[in-house]
Amino acid sequence: MPAATRTQFTRLLDETTRSGVHLVTETMRPSRRGRRYRNSRDGISIFDGPFVETKELLAGYIVVSGASLEEAERWALQYIEAVEADEVDLRELE
């Protein structure tokens, strides 16, 4: 990220944090450390990263805390079934 962009971004974060709009910042680790869960009529398939991230997949985030990807997987599988999502990406945070 260019220095000018980083400066603007830092100002925006400061302003939105002061106003109460911005609640928390997390950084995602590369997708090569994650998993993708794809839901279909044949069941849920699991793919290890890396995987392509597209705008169509980024509709929002739910953050869960777990000691490992395996522990977080339990929540991902429940979520994908509960909301009948087509795909769920499980990513580690730094």
30-43, pLDDT tens digit by residue?
A: 888 888 888 899 99
Q: What is the domain count for the chain? A: 1
CA 15 – CA 45 distance, rounded (Å): 42
Whether the upstream peptide bond of residue 2 has omega within 30° of 0, thus cis, is: no
pLDDT at position 42:
92
Q: Would residue 79 count as lying in a domain?
A: yes
Residue 47, pLDDT > 80, answer yes
Tokens of 69: 């990807």
Residue 5 is assigned to a structural domain of this protein: no
Domain that holds residue 81: 23-90
Three-class secondary structure assignment of 21-71: CCCCCCCECCHHHCEEEEEECCEEEEEECCCCCCCCCCCCCCCCCCCCHHH
Give percent above pLDDT 70 in the chain: 89
Q: Is the pTM of this model over 0.95?
A: no
pLDDT at 3 over 70: yes
- Residue 15 included in any domain: no
Is 55 a residue whose pLDDT tops 50? no
pLDDT surpasses 60 at 71: yes
In a domain, 1, yes or no: no
Q: In this structure, is residue 58 part of a structural domain?
A: yes
Whether residue 64 is contained in a domain is answered as yes
Q: What is the pLDDT of residue 61?
A: 67
- The reply to whether 10 falls in a domain is no
Is residue 11 one of the residues assigned to a domain?
no
Residue 43 is predicted with a pLDDT of 92
